[in-house]
Each structure stands twice: as C-alpha cells, then as structure tokens.
Structure 1
Amino acid sequence: MDVWRRLLLATVCGVAVASIYSAQTVLPPMGDSLGVSAEHAGWIVSTGQFGYLVGLVLLVPLGDVVADRRRLIAVHMTVTAAGLFVTAAAPAAWTAFAGLALAGMFAVVVQTTVAYAATVSPPAERGRTIGVVTSGVVVGILGARFVTGVLAQAWGWRSMYVVLGALALVLAALVLRALPPEGDTRRPAGYRQALVSLGGLFGERLFLTRGLIAFFLFASFGTLWSGLSLALADAPWHLSESQIGLFGIAGLAGALGAARSGRWADAGRAVRVSGLALALLIVSWTATAQLSWSLWLLAVGIVALDFAVQVVHVSNQHVLTTAHPERTSSVIGGHMVFYSLGSALGAAATTSVLSSHGWGASSLLGAAFATCALIVWATDARRPAASPRHGAGTTDGHRGEERRSDDALPPRLRPDARP
C-alpha cells in the first residue's frame, strides 16, 4: 500500500475518533450550554464511548461479512456525519447525547479501516501499516483538541461538530474513489458466524490478556484527557479553550514519536516494548500530577503518556491480527470493546474524582489504572509459552505471541536471522 492511501486511511480514523473525543476540550462551555453540571460533564464523552461499544459488538463484525470493506467504511462515515450534525443542532442535552451516541456507534469505522489496511498489506509490512493508520487515531484524539479548541472559542462548540461532519462526508467519497478493492484476499463469513466468532474470542487467553491491558491502558488515558480541560479551566490557570487545546499538540508529539512501534512489532519485539511502555506510563503520571504548579512538567508527562499508550496500542493490534489473520475485523473489534469500556470508565471516574478531591487524586487514579495494566502484562509474561495443541488460531503466553509474530515474517526480517 502506498503512502498516500495509508494517509487517507489514517485521516478516516482521525476524523472518526475526533467525533467522540472532541468534547473533552470544551466540556465546561458545552456542559453549561446543555445544562449538564461539571460533576456529570464526563458523561458527555462517555455517551459516545458507550455508543462506540455497541458498534464494536454489532457493526464491526460486518467487516468480516461484506466482500468490499471500502463501501462499509463509506457508509459508516456517512452515518457518523449525521450524528455529528444532530449534536451540532441539539437544543437540549438529551438530543446531544443521542447524536453523540450515534456518531460513536458508527465511529467503529476505525476498526474496519485498520482491518482493511492489515488485510491488503504484505505480512512483513503489516506492523508498519497498522502503525501509520493507527497514528490517525492519535491525531484525531489529540491533534483535534487544538483545532476544536480554536473553533469553539471563535464560533462556539457547535461549530466543531459541523466541521467534523463535513469532513466525514468528504472522506466517505474519497474512500470509494481512491482505495483499491480487497479482491480475493479473503472469504467473507456470514454475520451470525462473525458474531459467534467474536464471542468465542473472549475465551482465549491471548485475546483476554491483550484486552485487559487495553482496558486499563485506556482507562488511564481517559483519566488524563477527560479531566485535564476541567483542571486547566479552573484555578490557578483559568486557561481558555484554545489554550487548553495546545496541550493536545504535546500529546500528539509524544504519540507520533512512537511511530516506530509498528516496525518494532514487525521485528518481533511487540511484547517486550509493551512492558517497557507500560512502566513509562506509570512514571508519566508523576510529572502530570504537578499541574497545580508547573505546566512544563505537565507537558512532559503528557508527551510520555501518549508515547506509551501508542506503543502498547499498536503492539496489541499487531499481535492479535498476526494470530488471527482470517478474521481481522472481529479480533480488532473485540479488542476495542475493552478499549471503549476503559475509556468510558476513565472519562466518568476522573470528572467525579476531580470535582470531589482535586487533580492530585485524579492523577493517582490514572497511575493506578496504569499499574493494573502492567500487572496484567507481567503476570502473563511469567506463564509458560503455548504448546502446539492450541492450534494456529490461538497462542498462550507472551513468548508464544512473539514467536507467532516472528514466524509471520520472511526469514530475512526475523530478529534471529543471521547475516
């Protein structure tokens, strides 16, 4: 896949996730406009996350059913745009929640897009492609904060949903025109079979381990980004929406700094770097907790946190798509159920903790989530590797995961290859 098509897919992912996370920058004015108290403002973001969860279960399996995932991507982007326009025009909170839930439900186009990219990429380039496409998710979550903050300050929070909706419609048209069909690279399953297959994943150790890591990883991520705008808008800083959005650039720098994580995964180091990144995630909260007296330390913590999150996220997807090449949509969608639940938990919990106990307690919460993720990783890493009887579709233990990742590569690219 050439670089321009990768960038198009990355942009699709960016706009889709921005439809869920953009509210994090403007929670105070959006909550005031819709009559939602600061204590419950986190539910504005969580509503989109719960819609996303429904989409992961009901819509993502369609990626393993339809013969041409390009059309599915275009349809999902169109419906996402509709949800964004409903949110922009909402006269009351319940209407905005309905629009956010609809946009969130069809924003699972991200998983269909990643699955499409993984399927059309050669095995030796799969990690690199996933890394580039997934970077669009990071740009959407973090980079959009600055843009939406500027739009909200200039024309109100509704303007950002109008802009995102228009971009979604343009991308729906571009996907159909610019991307190649998948051809005969796979055999689509029936929808019922795809749902059963998705349910069966939850009994697999590799899938559950990576899922629990994702759950705590994104709970920690959501704790930072859902509480940050409220903390920065309050004393002692009293920052505006556009100023708060600047911290998204710091996060973007950290996440894009992890662009090589896909190459590390291709080289068979996905599991090891995941553990190191989770340790860094815990350390990052030490700097982030200093918000009350240092914005520079906060920025350093944000860079480190988003670097760590991106490394683990790309590694997780690489390991799972390598283990399940025949059902990439279902395995990515199932994995992202944990992501969605974790993000929703972090968003809802941090605003409540922040209102009651301040930013220090919220930082401890984020660090606790990160510690849980590292414990899951370390516990599984100590278990014995897979035995052959588990078959081609499953892998036990991190050493088994790494062997599977290595075996998917041509001999010259394997980490144990000799010159």
Structure 2
Amino acid sequence: MRLRHVRRAGPPCGAAPCGTAKTRYLVPHEPPDRAHAGRVMPPFPAATRLSLGLIAGGAVANIYYNQPLLGLLVQAFGHDASVLVPTATLAGYGLGILALVPLGDALPRRSLIVGQLLLLAAVLVLAAASTSLPVLVLAGFLIGVLSTAAQQAVPFAAELAPDAVRGRVVGQVMTGLLLGILLARTASGFVGAFAGWRAVFAGAAGLATAFAGLAWFGLPKVRPAARLGYRALMGSILDLVRREPVLRRAALSQALLFAAFNAFWTTLALLVEAPPFGLDPAGAGLFGVIGAAGALCAPIAGRFADTRSPRPVLIGGAALTLAAFAVFGLLGGRSLAALAVGVLLIDIGVNAALIANQTRVYALAPGARGRINTVLFTAIFTGGAIGASAGTRAFAAGGWPALCAVGGAFAAASLLVPLLERRPRPRS
C-alpha cells in the first residue's frame, strides 16, 4: 500500500490543537471512515470490550509481578536484583512497544495477541526456573517485550469504537489494563509471601495461556488498516513524530509522569519491609488494592475528554501526582495512612492524564493508531525504566527523602508541559 501525505483542516473534536491550522503527516492511503475499501468493522459488544480489558490487564500485569518480590529476589540473588530485574523488564516492555506494536496496523491484531501471549507463557516458565541472576534478568527482559500484547488491545479498542465515544471506550479498556498493573502487585505479594517468588512466575505462565485462549475465541478477526512492509511501517512512525506536536507533547508529559510513578512503586516494597513498618511482601502488595481505586477514574476521564477538553485532565493529573510526592515526603516515611493517601493520589493522577493523552493522540490519524500507540507508550515505558532506575538508586543513596525528591521532580516537569502549551486561538 502506498503512503501519502494527508492535509487536515484543523484539530479533531476533543483533541488539543497542534499549534498550526493545517498539519500534514504520513499515514496509510486509507480514508478514515469506519467502512472503507470493503473493510467493514464488526460490532463492538460489551463482551468484546470486557475481553480486551481482561487481556490488556492480564498481559501488562507480568511486568509488575517482580516489584513486591524484590526483597525475596535480593535474598536469592543479591542486592543487584532489586535494580536489574525491574529495570530490564520495563526496558523490554519499551522495546517491545517500539518493535512489535506497529505490526498491529499491518497484521491481524487478534493473531498477534495470541502469539505473544503463548510465547510469554514459555518465558515465564524460564523465569520460574531461573537459578542465576543473568538468566532471571534475561527472562525479565523478554517478559517485558512479550507483555506488549496489552498494547495491541488498546488500539484495537480505539479502532472498533465509534468516534463519539472513543475516549470512554478506551477508558474502559484502560481500566482493565490499569487494574492489571495495580492488582498484579497485590497478587504477587500474597503468592510470594506464602509460596515463594518462583510460584508467582509459574502461576503467571498459566494465566498467560488462558488469556491466549480468551483472545482467540473472544476477539473479532479484523483485516488490518494498512498493508505495509516493516521498513515503511517504521518510517511512518518517524514521520508522525516529526509532524504531530500534540503527539510529542503527550509522549513527553506521560513519560515524565510514569517515571515518577515507577520511581515510587519500585521502591515501596523496600520501604515498607524495613523498620519502622516491617511488612512482608503480602503487606506491600496490599497497596495495590488502594491504588486500584484510582484506575476506576479512567472511564470518567475519557468521558470528560470526549465531551469537553483533555487539557484540564492533564493538568489535574500531573498536579495530583506532584501532591502525592508532597504527602510521601512529609509523612510517608513514618505513616502507613499517609502512604495510602499518596498511593490513591498518584494512581488517580497518572491514570487520568493517560486517558486524556490517549484521547488526544488517537484522533490524529485513524489508520495509524498502532503506530501512534507505539510512540506514546515507547516514551512512557522508557520513562518508566528511567524512573525505576533513578528511584532505586536514589533510595539506596539517600533513603526515602531522596526518592521523594526525584519523584517530585519528574511530576513537576510533567505539569509544566500542558501549562506551557500554547492555547488555541478562538475561531472567527
């Protein structure tokens, strides 16, 4: 399929302006309507939305299972495990988004999801059987790469959803993904405390196989929007980045927020398992239940972005994240109640901002949502890997106050992105 430049009259409804009246970008030569060139979209029933949400949450959970287990992994493999394992996993996720997620615009997404989940199950078995740190780090990296099946599910939902409710539908599927992120820590903490860290990875392998079956039988088979070679597919990503300032700003702001998010979560277990708290991995995992309440705001944020504007949601989300680190810094080092309040704030803030950013960018190029997702989430999880590394190193060097300073700096930088964004001129 040929690529062509498409001229747009202005920003789509509900999306933030690009800063220019007309934007050109490289997309597949496909019109944006929902039934084109013989490619009629199937119905999008509630069961399909539920399946996508479960698959997204079940896949992404695998990159967070290791976080409540860091104390156990340090006992088994030494202190380096607390830095190398979560960092390798998040870095693998970022690379997988960059290398694999664009294929959803050129190959059937259902088949991609099934294949990735089956390979993921095999790698999780390798992690469960690891007897050395290098093997576990390699397994963690591959777990991250293959867990990007979650990022096939999100643009799949955006593709199937009607335009008028896309933000709401993406919010619903993202609720599943976000609950997977947060509840993974709770489940991992409990299983790790009572059965050991190997049981966590072995159980995750069984779940990945079950989700592969759900994808095969529960998702529609849809012909891809583009018929592009891999080189052309990747080249068009660079064109989108160069020509879409909204995409660049969304990627930057969310990457900074996710750096703050992971700086906190990768060190939380190390804080609460030490004096004065003395919790076990199960207790550390319970904080995921508190944070899960924040994931429930995703459909609300999506509805607001559909009907009004995403910019206030972005500003509010970053401000809540910054407030969370203020709470952590003032009281979180000695109060479990303050930690709980901060967890709720950080998860509401990061999740609301993410839905608003997704609503903005998915409206930019209907035929290229997989590649847009690639740009957004490659930036996000690159930021996450940086935040995980910076957070654990800051905690090791200066304790909890140093961690709060690093996380707060990331959140403050993210808040500046929408605040400094040029507001649109009123139309005459």
What TM-score do you get using the length of structure 1 for normalisation? 0.88
How much has 1:297 moved relative to structure 2? 1.3
Percent identical pairs in the alignment equals 31
Of Structure 1 and Structure 2, the greater helix share is in: 1
Residue 6 of structure 1, aligned match among 39, 49, 57: 49
Residue 349 (structure 1) aligned with residue 396 (structure 2) = no
Is the 1:79–1:103 Cα contact (8 Å) retained in structure 2? no
Residue 59 (structure 1) aligned with residue 138 (structure 2) = no
Counterpart CA distance in 1 for 2:423 and 2:157 is: 32
Question: Which residue of structure 2 lines up, in the alignment, with residue 200 of structure 1?
Answer: 239
SS in 2 for 1:331: helix
1:48 counterpart letter in structure 2:
T
What TM-score do you get using the length of structure 2 for normalisation? 0.86
Is the 2:121–2:209 Cα contact (8 Å) retained in structure 1? yes
Task: Map Cα deviations across residues 111-168 of structure 1 (whole Å, 9 max, x no partner).
Answer: 2111111111111121111111111221121111111111101110111111111111
Q: CA RMSD in A?
A: 1.6
Residue 27 (structure 1) aligned with residue 70 (structure 2) = yes
Aligned ranges 1:8-407 → 2 under 5 Å: 8-33=51-76, 35-37=77-79, 41-66=82-107, 68-183=108-223, 186-203=225-242, 204-289=244-329, 290-380=331-421, 382=422
Is the 1:219–1:343 Cα contact (8 Å) retained in structure 2? yes
Task: Map Cα deviations across residues 263-300 of structure 1 (whole Å, 9 max, x no partner).
Answer: 11211321221112211111111222222221111101
Counterpart CA distance in 1 for 2:370 and 2:256 is: 22
Is the 1:255–1:309 Cα contact (8 Å) retained in structure 2? no
Counterpart CA distance in 1 for 2:153 and 2:364 is: 18
Is the 2:62–2:184 Cα contact (8 Å) retained in structure 1? no
SS in 1 for 2:285: helix
Seen in structure 2, the aligned counterparts of structure 1 residues 258 and 44 have a Cα distance that, compared at 3 Å, is same
Task: Map Cα deviations across residues 291-327 of structure 1 (whole Å, 9 max, x no partner).
Answer: 2221111101110110011101111111111112110
Counterpart CA distance in 2 for 1:36 and 1:82 is: 25
How much has 1:383 moved relative to structure 2? 5.3
Q: How many residues align?
A: 382
For structure 2, list consecutive stretches of 5 or more residues without a partner in the other structure. Answer: 1-43
SS in 2 for 1:358: helix
2:232 counterpart letter in structure 1:
Q
Is the 2:53–2:172 Cα contact (8 Å) retained in structure 1? yes
Task: Map Cα deviations across residues 57-78 of structure 1 (whole Å, 9 max, x no partner).
Answer: 2111111111x21111111111
SS in 2 for 1:201: helix
How much has 1:193 moved relative to structure 2? 1.5
Question: Which residue of structure 2 lines up, in the alignment, with residue 405 of structure 1?
Answer: none
Counterpart CA distance in 1 for 2:91 and 2:355 is: 22
For structure 1, list consecutive stretches of 5 or more residues without a partner in the other structure. Answer: 386-398, 401-419
How much has 1:180 moved relative to structure 2? 1.6
How much has 1:350 moved relative to structure 2? 1.0
Is the 2:172–2:298 Cα contact (8 Å) retained in structure 1? no
Is the 2:257–2:414 Cα contact (8 Å) retained in structure 1? yes
